[in-house]
Amino acid sequence: MQSILDVRSLSPKERHPGIFNTFKELGPGDSFVLINDHEPKPLLYQFQIEFDGEFEWWPLERGPEAWRVSIVKRETKAVEREVTDYMQDDHHRLDRILETFQEARSGGNWANALAAFNEFDLGLRRHIQAEEEVLFPLFEEKTGMKDAGPTFVMRMEHTDIRDFLDKIKAATEAEDSEAAAGATQMLLNTLADHNMKEEQILYPESDSFLSKAEVKDFIRKAQVL
Ligand SMILES: [Fe+2]
Ligand SMILES: [Fe+2]
């Protein structure tokens, strides 16, 4: 269980110090979920300055009543990062959320199923956005491969993935277990192959030709999305 820090009842003055103290007290690899009443972008920028390379930032919910972010203290305090680790960790994180969704759906707990699906949907769409808007353009620029290269195939698969997300969401909102299970299976089949290609080819290649400063810049931009 992740601990929760709900700062909505605190005065704005108390919020940032409270959040920083909670982060500082975390053990390596531990995390907490921050709940706020607005998009905590200024806080993220402050984390990027104060705790460079020390944290992960995974938004779970974006309003209209609550904004939730999972903030993780990384195991290592390495400022030098890799595209492969960062993006692969996100694949695994998303896999676990989808498992929670599957358990809730098969148990008929639709409120929990929808909550888990919404977290997954937000996370996977942000992940794809980081690839399409930040990582792939870098890859295409460095390799000169655009229209027939790996990013072209990945972008086409993303289109299928987004269609499956739409189908699962509609089926979950309609509490149609069979349709949700079918669309989830199709998504899982596509993701298994897609993620493997990224983890074995695209991310390691990106690490091989991006400088450490470019990797750091990619992660900063991905966090802000
Ligand atoms: Fe992808
Ligand atoms: Fe990916």
Query: Measured in angstroms, how far is the CA atom of residue 195 from the centroid of ligand 1?
Result: 6
pLDDT over 80 at 158, yes or no: yes
User: Which ligand is closest to the CA of 158, given by its number?
Assistant: 1
Query: Measured in angstroms, how far is the CA atom of residue 122 from the centroid of ligand 1?
Result: 14
Which of 51, 65, 60, 61 is closest to 16 using CA atoms?
Answer: 51
pLDDT over 70 at 1, yes or no: no
- Of residues 79 and 20, more confidence is placed in 20
User: Which ligand is closest to the CA of 150, given by its number?
Assistant: 1
User: Which ligand is closest to the CA of 84, given by its number?
Assistant: 2
- Band of residue 39 on the pLDDT scale cut at 50, 70, 90: very high
Query: Measured in angstroms, how far is the CA atom of residue 20 from the centroid of ligand 1?
Result: 32
Query: Measured in angstroms, how far is the CA atom of residue 198 from the centroid of ligand 2?
Result: 6
Look up the CATH number of domain 3-73. Answer: 3.30.110.40
Structure confidence at residue 103 (pLDDT): 98
Query: Measured in angstroms, how far is the CA atom of residue 9 from the centroid of ligand 1?
Result: 38
Query: Measured in angstroms, how far is the CA atom of residue 13 from the centroid of ligand 2?
Result: 38
The arithmetic mean of pLDDT across residues 194-205, rounded, is: 97
Coil vs helix vs strand at 73: strand
pLDDT over 80 at 178, yes or no: yes
Query: Measured in angstroms, how far is the CA atom of residue 146 from the centroid of ligand 1?
Result: 15
Residue 218 to residue 112: CA distance in whole angstroms: 33
Fold agreement between 3-73 and 83-224: no
Percent of the chain with pLDDT over 90: 88
- Band of residue 173 on the pLDDT scale cut at 50, 70, 90: very high
- The tens digit of pLDDT for each residue in 72-113 reads 999 887 667 999 999 999 999 999 999 999 999 999 999 999
- Checking 50-58 for CB contacts under 8 A at 24+ apart, the result is 50/20, 51/23, 52/79, 53/77, 53/78, 53/79, 53/80, 53/81, 53/216, 55/23, 56/31, 56/86, 56/89, 57/223, 58/90, 58/93, 58/123
Class in CATH terms, 83-224 = mainly alpha
Query: Measured in angstroms, how far is the CA atom of residue 33 from the centroid of ligand 2?
Result: 23
The arithmetic mean of pLDDT across residues 183-192, rounded, is: 98
pLDDT over 80 at 212, yes or no: yes
Give me the residue spans of the domains in the chain. 3-73, 83-224
Query: Measured in angstroms, how far is the CA atom of residue 2 from the centroid of ligand 2?
Result: 24
pLDDT over 80 at 35, yes or no: yes
Poorest-confidence range of 41-45, 73-77, 151-155, 157-161? Answer: 73-77
Determine which helix (DSSP H) or strand (DSSP E) holds 209, and give its type and residue range: helix 203-209
